[in-house]
Amino acid sequence: MDETMDREVIKGSALLGVVAAVAGWLVPGLGHLILRRWSKAAVYFLCIGGLAFAGLAMRGGVFSFGAEDLFDRLGFFADLGAGAFYFLAHQIQSAGPDVAHATGDYGTRLFAAAGMLNLLTVLEAFDIGQGGQEK
């Protein structure tokens, strides 16, 4: 459904913005669901969740906290953006990463991209929750 015709006007507040942002970070799209942006919530969950799941299913690497290399540290913050998918990575990816093959290397990039995309949607959810303009 197109939200532009029947978008609910919500009374924004700093608390609602923070709650939506945290929820959206934990589960892609959940922040928008709280804000009653149904189609955005569905698209973000399917796209970002799908991208994160694909990255893990392709046996991509997941960066951990405390890496010494600068790029690994950046990778950690990108991966962390995927929220629950980051914390459940070892359960989803029971066979562990395999970056020796090209598919695993692509999986690493896909998972990091999912985290970065989710951070963009978190910023949008925070903005809508505060009562800001939205697309």
Note the residues at the interface with another protein (CB under 8 A).
2, 4, 39-40, 43-44, 47-48, 50-51, 53-54, 57-59, 102-103, 106-107, 109-110, 113, 117, 120-121, 124, 135
> Burial letters for 95-110: b for 16+ Cβ neighbours within 10 Å, e otherwise?
eebeeeeeebbbbbeb
Looking at the Cβ atoms of 54 and 84, the one nearer to another protein is 54
Compute the least distance from the CB of residue 93 to another protein, in Å.
Answer: 8
Compute the least distance from the CB of residue 68 to another protein, in Å.
Answer: 29
Compute the least distance from the CB of residue 117 to another protein, in Å.
Answer: 5
Looking at the Cβ atoms of 73 and 113, the one nearer to another protein is 113
Q: How far is CA 126 from CA 9, 17, 75, 95, in A?
A: 15, 4, 23, 36
> Residue 133's CB: how many other CB atoms inside 10 A?
6
User: Which pair of tokens denotes residue 69?
Assistant: 């290399």
Looking at the Cβ atoms of 15 and 97, the one nearer to another protein is 97
Looking at the Cβ atoms of 99 and 113, the one nearer to another protein is 113
Report the distance separating Cα 117 and Cα 88, nearest Å. 18
Count CA within 13 A, CB hemisphere, residue 73: 5
Compute the least distance from the CB of residue 51 to another protein, in Å.
Answer: 5
